[in-house]
Structure 1
Amino acid sequence: MHQLAKALGQKIRIQRKAKGFSQDALALSCGLDRSYMGRIERGEVSITVEKLYRIASVLECEPHFLLPESLSLHELASDLAASN
C-alpha cells in the first residue's frame, strides 16, 4: 500500500499548497503534529479515514478529491508483496 499512501500524500500536498497553507499551519488546524503531517505527505504512513476527513475539511474539499486515481490490481498486489 506504499504507492497508495505516497499518491495520497502527494494529493494532500498539492491541495495544501493550492490553499496557501504551510505544512505547520495545516497540521495545527488538523490537530496533528507537523512531523506527522510531513510523513503523511511523503507517504510514509497510512492514515485513518477520520484523519482523511479532518484534512479534507481544513482544505475545504471533499475527501474523495484527495484520493489518488485508482491503481491497477497488479500495482496493488506488487506493492503488498514488497511490503511483506
Structure 2
Amino acid sequence: MADAWAYLIRRTIRVLAVLDTPRADDARGLASRATPTDTPAALREAADALRAVLPEIDGQPSRTTVIATADMLSEVSAKLTLHERLDRLELAFARLERRFDEEAGGTRPPARSSRRIEPVSPPPPAPRVPHDPLPAFAVNLLTERTRRGLTQEALALEADMDQSYYGRLERGEIDPGVRTVARLAVALSVEPADLMADIGPEPG
C-alpha cells in the first residue's frame, strides 16, 4: 500500500499545482504532508480539503484522481479510528485486571486468551526493482473503480474473483497477470491498456 499511496499523492499534488487558489494551495499542503501513520483527524482534514477543491478542477481524469485520493485518506482514517478504539478497550481491560488483583490479594482466575488485533500500519514493503509497475497499476485500478462508483466487492464479483484477492491487487501487493488484467478490463468496460497507463520510469 505504501507505494500506491505515494504514487497517488504525487498525482494529486500535480493536479492541484496548476490551480492558483488559496483553497487548492491548502489542499495541496495537507495532501503532501499526509502519511498512513497520521492521526485520523489529520487524515480526515486532508480528505475534506481535497473534496472541497473539486469544483475548481477541470477534466474528469484529474477529478477522479483527487476523489480517489480523498477516498483513500478517509478509508485509512476509519481503520485507524477503529484501531485506537480497540487499544483503549484493551487498556481499560488491563486496568480492570490490575484492580481485580489488588482487591483479590493478588490472585485471580486464569485470564482468557484473546486475539490481539494487529496494528493497522503495514510492514515495510520488500525491496523491489526500479520502476516497479505494480503501484501504477494499483492506482489505475482504484481510479477506474472509483470513476464507475463500484465497491471492491461489486467489482470483484463482476470480474469473478475473490474480494480479498482483488483487495491485494488494488493495494499493489501482487502481480495480476495477463488474464486477470483482461478480466478486470472487461468488468470495468475499459481497455487493458487503460489499466497499464503510466507504467514505466518516472519522469526525470
Q: TM-score range by the shorter chain?
A: 0.7 to 0.9
**Unpaired runs of 5+ in structure 1?**
73-84
Which residue in the other structure is 1:28 paired with? Answer: 157
**Unpaired runs of 5+ in structure 2?**
1-127
CA drift of 1:4 comes to 0.8
Which residue in the other structure is 1:38 paired with? Answer: 167
Percent identity over the alignment? 33
Q: Secondary structure at the match of 1:43?
A: coil
TM-score (ref. length: structure 2)? 0.34
Q: Secondary structure at the match of 1:31?
A: coil
Q: Secondary structure at the match of 1:55?
A: helix
User: What is the aligned counterpart of 1:10 among 136, 139, 153?
Assistant: 139
CA drift of 1:17 comes to 0.8
Tell me which structure has the larger Cα radius of gyration.
2
For residues 153 and 199 of structure 2, the distance between their equivalents in structure 1, rounded to whole angstroms, comes to 29
> What is the CA deviation profile of residues 29-53 of structure 1, one whole-angstrom value per residue up to 9, with x for unaligned ones?
1111111111000100001111101
User: Any conservation in 2 of the 1:56–1:66 contact (CA below 8 Å)?
Assistant: yes
CA drift of 1:68 comes to 3.2
Instruction: List structure 1 segments (4+ residues) > 2 angstroms apart after TM superposition.
Output: none
Highest RCO, 1 vs 2 (Cα 8 Å, sep ≥ 6): 1
TM-score (ref. length: structure 1)? 0.79
Q: Secondary structure at the match of 1:56?
A: helix
